């Protein structure tokens, strides 16, 4: 016999239950973050101890194996004291020697996240005796140790590059696999690199942020296309892989539609791809071209961006951004073309290496081929 479940139907009671659930989940998250922060903080301090002692000079090259064995013997229930991990701890300290005041860092967990790369690097450079700015330290110690090791492996001693991936991991809540994907596609070198006129067409406080939502080149290697593919096939493939496309575009992009219909005067026009970006609070018109950039392309994407300003933009939105993504571009020609427009526009290229021969057929017949054969009988 099943136990009868009773529930109080009072609205205030129900809302209280919802509130309790939310508070419990938040407390779970805080506890997990605190445990991770304490562990990462300990690893940093152990790495500092090792670096300060200069153990190779005192005890020779076998020091790490000896320390690993002694720590595991003294703390049999603890993990993380492998020979390799001890090296990572020292590297962690040497890459971020400014993480001295961990208490300040922990206090900043959950507060404002640094979202601007320039601010991030400025804080890293402006080191003081009390350590780096607490917000930045909080970002570093809040991500999992496995992520930190991956960043150190891939970035070596390049502190600025490492800080970039730390910041992006926190902003986007990347898994380790996602972090590796963006490191391997060299997001650090691509982020914010589109050729734009944002410095002239947008207010100063918004132009840097808008620049950061661009990339050059865009990585379309998640697609597999036939050689000699058409624009339509490329756009179809991007929409068929919309989740991967949104990840490549970056944080804050919301998909509004493909072949988005707008009426300009008495003529019907279709925007290739329309997005809304919640970081810059603006519509983003994207036109994709399979050929090299031509100046006339600017007129098309600029016209569509102005039309969106008139037809869709509200008083709460910023000016619509137009982004042209081409197979290739001449940078000087692109810069000259952008000088003609007062609308915020950008030009990028894309990379696509997963190409198969045209008219490629697999060993198995398609559904259409099977149906045609059946209809002949």
> Do residues 315 and 237 both lie within one domain?
yes
d(C-alpha 191, C-alpha 116), whole Å = 12
Is residue 3 situated within a structural domain?
no
Tell me: do 168 and 40 sit in the same domain.
yes
Cβ–Cβ < 8 Å for 204, 173:
no
pLDDT at 62 (0 to 100): 85
Q: Check whether 170 has a pLDDT greater than 80.
A: yes
| Residue at 10 is within a domain | no
Q: What is the pLDDT of residues 239-264, one digit of tens each?
A: 999 999 999 999 899 999 999 999 98
Compute the average pLDDT of residues 77-96.
92
pLDDT digits (tens, 9 = 90+) for 288-301: 999 999 999 999 99
Residue 127 — very low, low, confident or very high, per pLDDT cuts 50/70/90?
A: very low
Query: What is residue 94's predicted lDDT score, i.e. its pLDDT?
Result: 94
What CATH number does residue 329 fall under?
A: 3.40.1350.10
Asked whether residue 170 falls in the same domain as residue 202, the answer is: no
pLDDT for 110 equals 47
**Exposed, middle or buried by CB within 10 Å (0-12, 13-18, 19+), for 338?**
buried
pLDDT at 284: 97
- Choice among 26-40, 55-69, 232-246, 329-343 with the minimum mean pLDDT: 26-40
Domain range for 143 is: 21-184
246 and 161 part of one domain: no
Residue 232 lies in a domain: yes
Q: Are 166 and 234 contained in the same domain? A: no
Of 18 and 106, the one with more pLDDT: 18
Give the pLDDT of residue 30: 67
79: its two tokens: 């993990």
Q: Which of 56-65, 83-92, 259-268, 340-349 has the lowest mean pLDDT?
A: 56-65
Domain count for the chain, please give it.
2
């Amino acid at each position: 016999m099943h136990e009868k479940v009773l529930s109080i139907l009072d609205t205030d009671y129900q809302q209280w239950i919802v509130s309790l659930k939310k508070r419990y989940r938040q407390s779970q998250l805080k506890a997990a973050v605190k445990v991770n922060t304490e562990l990462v903080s300990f690893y940093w301090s152990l790495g500092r101890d090792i670096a300060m002692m200069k153990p190779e000079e005192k005890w020779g090259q076998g020091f790490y194996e000896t320390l690993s064995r002694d720590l595991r013997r003294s703390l049999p229930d603890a993990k993380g004291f492998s020979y390799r991990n001890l090296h990572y701890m020292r590297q962690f300290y040497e890459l971020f020697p400014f993480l001295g005041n961990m208490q300040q860092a922990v206090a900043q967990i959950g507060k404002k996240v640094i979202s601007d790369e320039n601010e991030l690097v400025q804080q890293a450079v402006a080191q003081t005796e009390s350590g780096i700015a607490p917000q930045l330290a909080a970002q570093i110690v809040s991500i999992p140790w496995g992520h930190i090791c991956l960043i150190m492996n891939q970035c070596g001693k390049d502190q600025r590059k490492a800080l970039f991936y730390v910041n992006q991991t926190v902003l986007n809540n990347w898994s380790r696999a996602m972090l590796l994907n963006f490191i391997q596609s060299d997001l650090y070198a691509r982020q914010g690199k589109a050729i734009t006129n944002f410095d002239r067409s947008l207010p100063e406080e918004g132009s840097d942020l808008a620049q950061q939502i661009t990339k050059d080149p865009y990585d379309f290697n998640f697609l597999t296309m036939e050689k000699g593919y058409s624009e339509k096939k490329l756009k179809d493939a991007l929409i068929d892989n919309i989740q991967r496309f949104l990840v490549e575009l970056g944080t804050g992009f919301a998909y509004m539609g493909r072949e988005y219909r707008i009426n300009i005067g008495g003529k019907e026009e279709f925007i290739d791809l329309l997005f809304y970006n919640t970081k810059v609070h603006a519509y983003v018109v994207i036109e994709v071209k399979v050929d090299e950039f031509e100046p006339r392309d600017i007129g098309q994407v600029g016209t569509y961006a102005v039309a969106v300003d008139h037809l869709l933009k509200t008083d709460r939105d910023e000016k619509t951004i137009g982004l042209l993504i081409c197979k290739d571009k001449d940078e000087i020609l692109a810069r000259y073309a952008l000088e003609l427009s007062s609308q915020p526009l950008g030009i990028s290229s894309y990379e696509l290496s997963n190409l198969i021969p045209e008219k490629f057929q697999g060993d198995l017949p398609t559904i259409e081929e099977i149906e045609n054969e059946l209809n002949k009988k």
